[in-house]
Amino acid sequence: MLTRTEGIVLKTQKYGEADLIVTYLTSDMGIISAFAKSPRKTKSRFGSSLEPLTHGKISLWGKEQSLPKITQSDIVSSFHQLRESYTDFVNISKLIEIVISLTPAGIPHERLFPFFLNLLHILQSSEHAAKDALHLITVIRLLAVIGYAPRLKGCGKCGNESLAFYPDSGTTLCTKCASSPDRRGKPFMRISNKAIHFYAHSMEWPIHISNRLKPSPQTLSELSGLLDRHLTFILSKKLRSSGFPGASNPMPVRS
Ligand SMILES: [Zn+2]
């Protein structure tokens, strides 16, 4: 069976001597894996169309469940600038890890593909100075699209004001709700009103104008710490990409 679709390459894995297994986020089948015969032998157009982040039109032969073969792959956008920028690539690796970990494979997700593609275009066209905030916003928005965004707007149980975030609940909780007998001693972290406001804006504003948000470095580090704790809890492990050290390390292109 021949299937034509559009996909973004999320990651590739070597298979045997010269073959690859490519994981795509597709426009109509969700996340799928497919098999590419010998793309690594030469520097072919076919091979470059399988680089991570590439948006392409692809033809697949075979059933989705049994690793279909990629018979054709044409580049729509290569996004090579994003691949070549260390900070962009580290941030996008984190987004990819979130998508792969929290989205079931093979289940169509109507909003995810257009959202992710738009994100890549925005990241590619944005000025470098504004990118710290933008990178954080992309993580927040992605979590919202796939239904895992933490709640920071008042107590998650009663709605009262709260500045204490509980990673085990994914929400802020007021003193009263947090001190119920079954919750005693659960770890939490304090957050500032500034961080809560920035979080609310990054959810609500269209991403392409979010460079008008000017959070302080402190607000950024506070929220990124909170998101890391939140993700560590929901993934039951630390994200590999959040542990990347400084920019002098070689870029992890293929895993
Ligand atoms: Zn409460």
Ligand 1 centroid to residue 181 C-alpha, Å: 14
Ligand 1 centroid to residue 29 C-alpha, Å: 40
166-181 burial by CB neighbour count: b if 16+ within 10 A, else e? bbebbbbbbeebbeee
Residue 116 in tokens? 């992710």
* Residue scoring higher pLDDT (246 or 220): 220
Ligand 1 centroid to residue 178 C-alpha, Å: 7
Ligand 1 centroid to residue 205 C-alpha, Å: 27
Ligand 1 centroid to residue 70 C-alpha, Å: 52
Report angle CA 225, 222, 196 to the nearest 5 degrees.
Answer: 115
Domains and CATH numbers, the chain: 2-78 (2.40.50.140), 82-152+191-243 (1.20.1440)
Using 50, 70 and 90 to split pLDDT, how confident is the model at 39? confident
Ligand 1 centroid to residue 127 C-alpha, Å: 41
Q: Which pLDDT belongs to residue 34?
A: 96
DSSP assigned state of 30:
-
Is the confidence at residue 213, as pLDDT, over 90? no
Ligand 1 centroid to residue 179 C-alpha, Å: 10
Average pLDDT, the chain: 89
Instruction: State pLDDT tens for residues 49-78.
Output: 999 999 999 999 998 778 999 999 999 999
Instruction: State pLDDT tens for residues 140-166.
Output: 999 999 999 999 999 999 999 999 999
pTM (two decimals) = 0.88
Is the confidence at residue 97, as pLDDT, over 90? yes
